[in-house]
């Protein structure tokens, strides 16, 4: 059930209406029923997998806290973490590793034993990947780490715990919600609050605008170029790389706004995932503003852990930790080398920024602020667009071919495709960037949150009519749903 | 809680009223502009839906619209002709438009231009989206409404709620043709010539093989349904694969279309490999003849029709 479908709108309306009619003590049960229905509507039988993960994590958390012996605590904790990783590896990454190992084995075989005919075939599993598996396991592991560290108590109410991990607005593509932020919210009943609901609906409206008007419109152009990338020239491919970055942002931040809005209507606060990342002046700043809940998870549970355990390495400790963290973050997106390289490129940029931080600071002091900002934003955005070629490509070979064609600087004019598609996309992108520019630089200038009702209503109506007139209504999936 | 609820209901009512008024006002304004057009892509559909009463009608996508010259066919065949081709549409669209034409007219002959890979739509959805976006402004016509409803019921609901929804994704063209930013040929009976060539050296050196996805069974069924409808209404059909520069994948598709067409007792002509159209100067791009090429091709087609 996609957020941008009629089924979902009907489902959510029923959920929200009954939710506020119920006594506060029963509200979470209704949310749990709704979340299970939402999951089973898409993947009926596969609910067994998230439920298994939840049961294992709940029991581990419970016994970690209960156990008085430190060693035993540790074993239970490790068992919980291994169980979660095993689910993820088996369901999402098994075929990737099997293919990689077989390919290495065959290459060695051919190189050293000259037996090219005797190639080995990989052992592959034909398993369906459960919806939101990466998000569920990461939240579950985060919970176990917090319980083990003693920074969060183990949840005693199993119903609350399932609701935390299956909560339907965030189950498919996050945010990666922390237990200490979410679980207390389940425990308090919610009253119907007009202002909170309106805030949620505003977020949803803006999210739908980003998804339907910008992301899905840009997808029409981007896929038409990338499906035939070998026939396009360098300027078209470079332009498409930029549009792919904007599309991904509009799609994912649009999804996040809708998810946050849905939760807000039900009285819940979810962690924001984006903070105008394209205004970042460095890759370091960028990753503080892009997919915040996931990068924070990796920062807290991977980067910090590796840095501390390798503190004897001096300045190489954070560098190593950075690179490991971003390779894993890349791989988190899916079982493909393209994602690994995407992560490596982020790690590389962050390493360079770390090593040159002093010289860059000196340089910045000599340049006017405006120049610093412009150059920083331009380089950061350009580098992200470049790395995203790997993110978007189906294979490393395809990504390298596209990059090769971009740097060949082949002649010819830019491919526009359908003029009207480009026209509508430009309208959407312009509105997005103007809005974000004002949010970044003139936060007091408000339209959708303006204190005058006329301005607010005019903005809602304009946004709705823009969605109706320029939106793409083909119920396409959100990009991050596949991760 | 109660005061909150009253506030919410009051606000919602005011908001819905403002939205309703704005949508209707803008919707009526766009509707006026839409049906005021006398040329261009959108007008092609309006003409097909309301007034294509000629004896010979040409269906197809851009390769119909830019390659069949009605005047030449009229001269040689002595019958009235209109080209109903429209850029970027496929058999789902043609089928519905044909059904609608049959509600007010009975042509003698239908010429339908098919791609050498007509069945190989990237996805069925692409064809459906193309059909729906082109035909939503005509939702009041029962044939159109029924066909759209079968594909995506949500579009019927949305266009019932929002008057502006029928013109989704068409605003640029509506304004463009009404205010002279976009122009199209007048009095060419639906034919839209392409002049000169934009073939590049790379296109000429390596026209290459354009690989297309495998056959799509739904697309095949729509093709059969189109021919079936013509057969039921005793209308002759001539299926044509017009000239094309690159080698487009799937020989199976052409032979299957030929088999189906001839199975209905209709004629099938494949010009895609005709030597006379191997001359690059006749092409606007790899897939479309220019005006000179279209004139030659239409003449050849008329002669073929006369000879058989």
Q: What is the pLDDT of residue B303?
A: 93
Interface of A with B in 412-441 (CB under 8 A): 412, 418-420, 423-424
Inter-chain residue contact A470 with B169, CB threshold 8 Å: yes
Does residue B181 lie within any of the structural domains? Answer: yes
Q: What is the mean pLDDT of chain B?
A: 86
Distance from the Cα of A473 to chain B's closest Cα (Å) equals: 8
Q: What is the pLDDT of residue A369?
A: 87
Which residue in the block uniquely carries the two structure tokens 């309106």? Answer: A198
Is residue B62 less than 8 Å (CB to CB) from chain A? no
Does residue B268 lie within any of the structural domains? Answer: yes
Q: Tens digits of per-residue pLDDT, B87-135?
A: 888 888 999 999 999 999 999 999 999 988 777 665 566 677 778 888 9
Rounded distance, CA A265 to CA A192, Å? Answer: 9
Does residue B220 lie within any of the structural domains? Answer: yes
Stretch A246-273: mean pLDDT: 95
Interface of A with B in 85-114 (CB under 8 A): none
Stretch B247-270: mean pLDDT: 84
Inter-chain residue contact B26 with A465, CB threshold 8 Å: yes
Task: Name the closest residue on chain B to residue A20, using Cα atoms.
Answer: B1
Domain containing residue B104: 37-116+173-307
Inter-chain residue contact A470 with B125, CB threshold 8 Å: no
Q: What is the pLDDT of residue B287?
A: 84
Does residue B165 lie within any of the structural domains? Answer: no
Which of A6, A420, A468 is the closest to B172 by Cβ? Answer: A420
Percentage of chain A exceeding pLDDT 70: 97
Nearest-10 crossing angle of helices A234-265, A194-208 = 160
How many structural domains does chain B have?
1
Rounded distance, CA A435 to CA A363, Å? Answer: 31
Interface of B with A in 211-240 (CB under 8 A): none
Q: What is the pLDDT of residue B70?
A: 95
Q: What is the pLDDT of residue A285?
A: 95
Does residue B221 lie within any of the structural domains? Answer: yes
Neighbour-count burial of A92, counting CB atoms closer than 10 A to its CB (0-12 exposed, 13-18 middle, 19+ buried): buried
Q: Where are the domains of chain A?
A: 6-190, 196-470
* CB-CB neighbours of A341 under 10 Å: 20
Range of lowest pLDDT (A112-116, A367-371, B23-27, B289-293): A112-116
Is residue B168 less than 8 Å (CB to CB) from chain A? yes
Is residue A24 less than 8 Å (CB to CB) from chain B? no
Which residue in the block uniquely carries the two structure tokens 């032979």? Answer: B255
Which chain A residues are Cβ-neighbours of B169 within 8 angstroms?
Answer: 420, 424, 469-470, 472
Question: Can you give the CATH number for the domain in which B108 is found?
Answer: 3.40.50.1110
Q: What is the pLDDT of residue A118?
A: 61
Which of B14, B155, B171 is the closest to A469 by Cβ? Answer: B171
Range of lowest pLDDT (A112-126, A218-232, A380-394, B246-260): A112-126
Range of lowest pLDDT (A180-194, A458-472, B246-260): B246-260
Task: Name the closest residue on chain A to residue B175, using Cα atoms.
Answer: A420
- Token representation of residue A385: 């667009």
A470 confidence band (pLDDT: 50, 70, 90):
very high
Is B242:B270 a contact under the CB 8 Å cutoff? no
Range of lowest pLDDT (A342-356, A415-429, B249-263): B249-263
Q: Tell me the β-bridge partners of B82.
A: B57
Which chain B residues are Cβ-neighbours of A191 within 8 angstroms?
Answer: 1, 4
Specify the 3-state DSSP secondary structure of A413: coil
Q: Which of B13, B15, B41, B183 to mutate to test the interface with A (most CBs of A within 10 A)?
A: B15
Is residue B278 less than 8 Å (CB to CB) from chain A? no
Inter-chain residue contact A457 with B162, CB threshold 8 Å: no
Q: What is the pLDDT of residue B247?
A: 61
Contact partners, residue B289, CB within 8 Å, separation at least 6: B66, B67, B194, B242, B243, B277, B282, B283, B296, B297
Is residue A21 less than 8 Å (CB to CB) from chain B? no
Q: Tens digits of per-residue pLDDT, B53-68?
A: 999 999 999 999 999 9
Task: Name the closest residue on chain B to residue A6, using Cα atoms.
Answer: B154
- Token representation of residue B154: 């949500």
Measured between alpha carbons, how far apart are the two ends of chain A, in Å? 16
Which residue in the block uniquely carries the two structure tokens 């003409």? Answer: B47
Q: What is the pLDDT of residue A209?
A: 96
Range of lowest pLDDT (A178-187, A285-294, A401-410): A401-410
Q: Tens digits of per-residue pLDDT, A129-169?
A: 888 899 999 999 999 999 999 999 999 999 999 999 999 99
A342 confidence band (pLDDT: 50, 70, 90):
very high
Comparing A479 with B304, the larger pLDDT belongs to B304
Q: What is the pLDDT of residue B131?
A: 83
A290 confidence band (pLDDT: 50, 70, 90):
very high
How many helical (H) and strand (E) elements, i.e. helices and strands, does chain B have?
Answer: 13, 9
Distance from the Cα of B299 to chain A's closest Cα (Å) equals: 31
Inter-chain residue contact B1 with A424, CB threshold 8 Å: no
Q: Which of A44, A70, A139, A125 is nearest to A92 (CA)?
A: A125
Which chain A residues are Cβ-neighbours of B167 within 8 angstroms?
Answer: 469
Q: What is the pLDDT of residue A57?
A: 96
Q: What is the pLDDT of residue B245?
A: 78
B185 confidence band (pLDDT: 50, 70, 90):
confident
Q: Listing from the earlier edge strand, what are the strands of the sheet with B109-113?
A: B81-83, B56-59, B109-113, B236-241, B267-270
Q: What is the pLDDT of residue B202?
A: 61
Is B243:B272 a contact under the CB 8 Å cutoff? yes
Rounded distance, CA A64 to CA A70, Å? Answer: 9
Query: What is the β-pairing status of strands B236-241 and B109-113?
Result: parallel
Does residue B27 lie within any of the structural domains? Answer: no
Task: Name the closest residue on chain A to residue B152, using Cα atoms.
Answer: A474
Q: Tens digits of per-residue pLDDT, A200-239?
A: 999 999 999 999 999 999 998 998 888 888 878 889 999 9
Does residue B134 lie within any of the structural domains? Answer: no
**ipTM of this complex prediction, to 2 decimal places:** 0.81
Q: Which of A208, A420, A425, A453 to mutate to test the interface with B (most CBs of B within 10 A)?
A: A420
Q: What is the pLDDT of residue A378?
A: 95
Stretch A10-25: mean pLDDT: 94
Rounded distance, CA B183 to CA B181, Å? Answer: 7
Q: What is the pLDDT of residue A115?
A: 60
Over 80: is that where the pLDDT of A51 sits? Answer: yes
Percentage of chain A exceeding pLDDT 90: 66
**Which DSSP helix (H) or strand (E) runs through A88?**
helix A70-88
Which chain A residues are Cβ-neighbours of B14 within 8 angstroms?
Answer: 457
Comparing B208 with A190, the larger pLDDT belongs to A190
Inter-chain residue contact A470 with B168, CB threshold 8 Å: yes
Is A343:A298 a contact under the CB 8 Å cutoff? no
Q: Tens digits of per-residue pLDDT, B138-169?
A: 998 988 998 888 888 888 888 999 999 999 98
Q: Tens digits of per-residue pLDDT, B186-235?
A: 778 999 999 998 876 666 655 444 555 566 788 888 899 999 999 999 99
Stretch A385-413: mean pLDDT: 89
Task: Name the closest residue on chain A to residue B182, using Cα atoms.
Answer: A419
Is residue A227 less than 8 Å (CB to CB) from chain B? yes
Q: What is the pLDDT of residue B209?
A: 47
B248 confidence band (pLDDT: 50, 70, 90):
low
Interface of B with A in 186-215 (CB under 8 A): 200
Q: Tens digits of per-residue pLDDT, A374-386?
A: 999 999 999 999 9
């Amino acid at each position: 059930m996609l957020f941008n479908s009629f089924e979902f709108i009907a489902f959510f309306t029923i959920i929200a209406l009954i939710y506020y009619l119920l006594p506060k003590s029963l509200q979470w049960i209704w949310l749990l029923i709704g979340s299970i229905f939402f999951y089973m509507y898409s993947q009926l039988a596969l609910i067994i997998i998230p439920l298994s993960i939840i049961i294992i994590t709940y029991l581990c958390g419970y016994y970690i806290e209960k156990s008085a012996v430190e060693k035993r605590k540790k074993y239970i904790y490790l068992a919980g973490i291994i169980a979660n990783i095993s689910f993820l590896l088996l369901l999402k990454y098994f075929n990737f590793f099997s293919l990689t190992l077989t390919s290495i084995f065959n290459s060695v075989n051919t190189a050293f034993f000259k037996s090219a005919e005797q190639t080995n075939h990989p052992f592959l599993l034909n398993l369906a990947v459960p919806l939101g598996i990466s998000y569920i396991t990461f939240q579950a592991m985060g919970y176990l780490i917090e319980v083990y560290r003693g920074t969060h108590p183990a949840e005693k109410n199993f119903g609350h715990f399932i609701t935390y991990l299956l909560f339907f607005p965030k189950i498919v593509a996050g945010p990666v919600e922390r237990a200490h932020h979410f679980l207390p919210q389940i425990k308090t009943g919610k009253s119907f609050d007009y202002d909170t609901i309106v805030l949620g609906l505003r977020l949803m409206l803006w999210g739908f605008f980003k998804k339907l008007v910008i992301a899905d419109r840009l997808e029409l152009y981007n896929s038409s170029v990338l499906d035939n990338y070998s026939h396009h020239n360098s300027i078209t491919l470079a332009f498409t790389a930029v549009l792919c970055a904007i599309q991904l942002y509009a799609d994912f931040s649009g999804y996040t706004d809708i998810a946050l809005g849905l939760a807000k209507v039900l009285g819940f606060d979810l962690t924001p995932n984006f903070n105008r990342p394209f205004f970042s002046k460095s890759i370091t700043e960028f990753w503080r503003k892009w997919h915040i809940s996931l990068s924070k998870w990796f920062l807290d549970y991977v980067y910090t852990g590796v840095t501390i355990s390798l503190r004897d390495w001096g300045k190489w400790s954070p560098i190593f930790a950075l690179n490991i963290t971003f390779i894993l973050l890349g791989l988190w997106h899916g079982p493909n080398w393209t994602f690994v390289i995407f992560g490596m490129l982020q790690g590389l940029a962050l390493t360079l920024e770390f090593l040159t931080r002093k010289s860059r600071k000196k340089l910045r002091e000599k340049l006017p602020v405006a120049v610093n900002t412009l150059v920083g934003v331009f380089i950061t955005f350009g580098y992200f667009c470049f790395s995203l070629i790997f993110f978007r490509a189906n294979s490393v070979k395809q990504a390298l071919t596209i990059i090769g064609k971009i740097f060949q600087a082949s002649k010819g004019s830019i491919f526009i495709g359908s003029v009207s598609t480009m026209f509508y996309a430009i309208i959407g992108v312009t509105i997005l960037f103007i809005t974000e520019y004002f949010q970044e630089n003139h936060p007091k200038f408000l339209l959708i949150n303006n204190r005058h009702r006329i301005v607010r209503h005019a903005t809602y109506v304009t946004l709705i009519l823009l969605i109706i007139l320029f939106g793409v209504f083909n119920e396409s999936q959100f990009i991050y749903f596949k991760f | 809680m109660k005061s909150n609820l009253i506030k919410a209901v009051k606000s919602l009512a005011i908001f819905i009223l403002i939205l309703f008024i704005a949508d209707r006002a803008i919707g009526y304004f766009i509707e006026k502009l839409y049906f005021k057009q006398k040329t261009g892509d959108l007008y092609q559909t309006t003409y097909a839906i309301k007034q294509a009463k000629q004896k010979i009608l040409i269906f197809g996508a851009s390769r119909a619209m830019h390659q069949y010259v009605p005047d030449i066919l009229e001269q040689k065949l002595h019958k009235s002709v209109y080209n109903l081709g429209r850029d970027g549409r496929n058999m789902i669209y043609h089928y519905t438009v044909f059904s609608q034409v049959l509600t007010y007219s009975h042509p003698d002959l239908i010429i339908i231009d098919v791609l050498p890979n007509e069945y190989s739509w990237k996805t069925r959805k692409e064809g459906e989206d193309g059909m729906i976006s082109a035909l939503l402004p005509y939702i009041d016509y029962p044939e159109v409404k029924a066909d759209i409803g079968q594909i995506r019921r949500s579009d019927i609901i949305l266009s019932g709620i929002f008057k502006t929804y029928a013109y989704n994704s068409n605003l640029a063209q509506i304004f463009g043709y009404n205010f002279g930013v976009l122009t199209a040929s007048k009095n060419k009976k639906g034919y839209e010539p392409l002049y000169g060539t934009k073939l590049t050296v790379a296109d000429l050196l390596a026209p290459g093989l354009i690989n297309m996805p495998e056959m799509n069974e739904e697309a095949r069924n729509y093709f059969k349904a189109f021919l079936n409808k013509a057969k039921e209404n005793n209308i002759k059909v001539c299926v044509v694969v017009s000239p094309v520069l690159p080698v487009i994948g799937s020989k199976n598709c052409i032979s299957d279309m030929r088999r189906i067409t001839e199975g209905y007792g209709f004629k099938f002509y494949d010009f895609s490999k005709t030597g006379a159209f191997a001359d690059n100067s006749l092409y606007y791009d790899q897939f479309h003849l220019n005006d000179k090429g279209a004139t030659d091709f239409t003449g050849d087609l008329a002669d073929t029709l006369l000879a058989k």
